[in-house]
Amino acid sequence: MGNNILDFDTVCLSKDGEGIEIIDQTKLPGEITFLTLRTDEEIWRAINILQVRGAPAIGVTAALAMYVLSLKMPKGSYEEFRKEFTREKEYLDSSRPTAVNLSWALNKMDAVVKANEGMAPDDLIPLLKEEALRIYREDIEVCHAIGENGLTLVKKGDGILTHCNAGKLCAVQYGTATAPIYLGQEKGYGFHVFCDETRPLLQGARLTAFELQSAGVDTTVICDNMSAMVMKKGWVNAIFTGCDRVAANGDTANKIGTSVVAAVAKLYGVPMYICAPTSTIDMNTPTGDQIVIEERDPDEVTEMWYKQRMAPENVKVFNPAFDVTDASLIAAIVTEKGIAYPPYTESLKKIMEQE
């Protein structure tokens, strides 16, 4: 099947149309392994243990999942179908709490069912497939548009810092924060990218560096606590990260450590750009204080990446998956509909009101 990660969609409908095919991101960069998910348990687990991850990719997976699962739902009546559909939707929604794209996509699929009340399930299922594939195609278009908008914020030869993975592996193609980098690479911009390794799950070292290097981008991995040094030396002209949720005031939740990068960037006068599809903007969440932060297994910190445990037995571990970056630290939020600048309460509202 080839061995370049860029040759494949991160998530798509399986060839037989009855499953979801994903790249197993827990195996990267050592091996490119594809999984076909067919049951609700398999899909829930894949999202939960980060076999598929990144807000846009999770949303696409959720949309395709509701179609795939609908194929096995009761066909006797609309009411029976609706009851099982709701159960599956709520089950998948419990897999991860922070990324708003999960519930956004599930609600999009649910809206199809609600809009066709009383319809025979056999007639409803093709409509669910159509909506799921629309969300899939839209993700590709949205990420490309984010890339075009983000590219206007940088110039040829710039140094760019990334945190976590907001690359093609967090979406179907292009990614969010890496979309400007990929488009710039195609246009000969000659960026040099510094990838924070992003402890504790190393998505920067394992995933972002892997895919950028595959694309021929000049890439350097740094430990998270080296970001201040490369900024102080003047090697970084801009920071691009993705996010899992944008609050109405411009606060953003992203992989743990993003707020540290933003604070250091403010000190050294490096602009911090958040790349987010409008599906990640949650106008019903007033500020970052209301965003639920997922806490994960302590083993991710103490032993996951080591041959032997690297912390004392029974020591307490705090392992939040995300932190919230204050809107005051963000220079701009790049969306597919345009670039939002402070004050975000006004600019985000205008973007969300666009057709």
Catalytic residue among 110, 139, 244, 251: 244
Residue 314 buriedness (CB in 10 A; 0-12 / 13-18 / 19+): exposed
352 CB-near residues (< 8 Å, 6+ apart): 278, 281, 283
How many Å apart are CA 211 and CA 169, to the nearest integer? 8
> How are beta strands 159-162 and 238-241 bridged, if at all?
parallel
List beta partners, residue 12: 21
Residue type present at position 321: A
Report whether 337 contacts 272 (CB < 8 A).
Answer: no
Q: Choose among 184, 187, 114: nearest CA to 150.
A: 184
Find the Cα–Cα–Cα–Cα dihedral 199, 189, 218, 157, rounded to 10°.
-80
Burial of 284 (0-12, 13-18, 19+ CB in 10 A): exposed
In this structure, what are the phi and psi dihedrals at residue 330, rounded to the nearest 5 degrees? Answer: -105, 125
244 is catalytic: yes
Distance CA 117, CA 341 (A): 41
Q: In whole angstroms, what is the distance from residue 264 CA to residue 266 CA?
A: 5
Pairing of β 272-275 and β 245-247? unpaired
* Continuous H helices in the chain: 40-48, 55-70, 78-93, 100-115, 121-151, 179-186, 203, 209-214, 227-232, 258-268, 299-302, 344-353
User: Mapping DSSP to helix (H, G, I), strand (E, B) and coil, where does residue 157 land?
Assistant: coil
> Which residues are designated catalytic?
244
